[in-house]
Amino acid sequence: MTATVQEIRIQLPHIDLAARVYGPENGQPVLALHGWLDNSMTFELLAPKLQGLRIVAIDMAGHGHSGHREPGAGYQLWDYALDALLAAQQLGWDKFSLLGHSLGGIVSVLLAAAVPERIERIALIDGLVPDTGEAEQSPQKLGEALKAQIKLSSKKKTVYKTMEQAVQARMAGFMPVSQLAAELLAQRGLSPVAGGYSWNSDSRLTLPSPLRLTQSHAQAFVRAVQCPMRLIAAEQGVLLKEADFLKFVSTYSLDVQRLPGGHHLHLDDEQGAQAVAEVVQDFFCIS
């Protein structure tokens, strides 16, 4: 399916974000947030199938064509939430909806819980709450994070001789994807460097979190969401394998739609993208 896509830049006070815009100007405003180490191309198969929505899919800070944070800054969940809220402000959106995959879904839940008066609907793809950690683990986790940050300066990014090698590496990464998905992400995620190509995401994105929310924190954010929320859970994704997720489903009666496919079911192939589109389209009441 072909569709006109507009490339824009959103200038925030502290960073510039790149974005791809899909749909008519008078469509329902939707801010789309991608997953960890992905970019806005994650919505390339899905967004054109959603009629009646004005989807602004941003490259989150440190990803894709967006800027990297200043030295000393980090990439915590609340930092992404602030970026999203400021981006909506720059777009002139008083109220808007969210479409989030994985990390983008987690940020969407936190943002909707924090400023419920601004968010109209949330559609989530295989992402709900972050990995949690209890207070007793915090000192050890902070120490690990601090040491990893110090070591990062001595590490060099992997350089691939060809784009094809980079695509193959992405296919076999922490979250495996299809060749089609890897190629789409590479279009926006690779940059030419001396000796070949390298992923242009900020190396700090791979650092462990210095502080995790507790289970009580995560539950509080889910409870605080006031708008309609629908979660698409991939049968071979990450959520359905987690006991904590199943507990959330039973405790909060979440609107969960299970679909076949992996964690990137909306990007791995056209069939998966169409299945996700039908669920999202129904949720947004698009005729």
- Residues with catalytic roles: 102
Which pair of tokens denotes residue 281?
């389209």
* Alpha-carbon gap, residue 234 to 201, rounded angstroms: 26
In terms of Cα–Cα distance, which of 195, 130, 145, 138 is closest to 165?
195
φ and ψ at 148, to 5 degrees? -65, -35
The amino acid occupying position 214 is T
* Alpha-carbon gap, residue 47 to 29, rounded angstroms: 13
Helix, strand, or coil here: 110?
Answer: helix
Cβ 111 vs Cβ 85: under 8 Å: yes
Written as one string, the DSSP assignment of 228-246 is -EEEEEEEESSGGG-HHHH
CA torsion through residues 267, 175, 242, 105, sign: negative
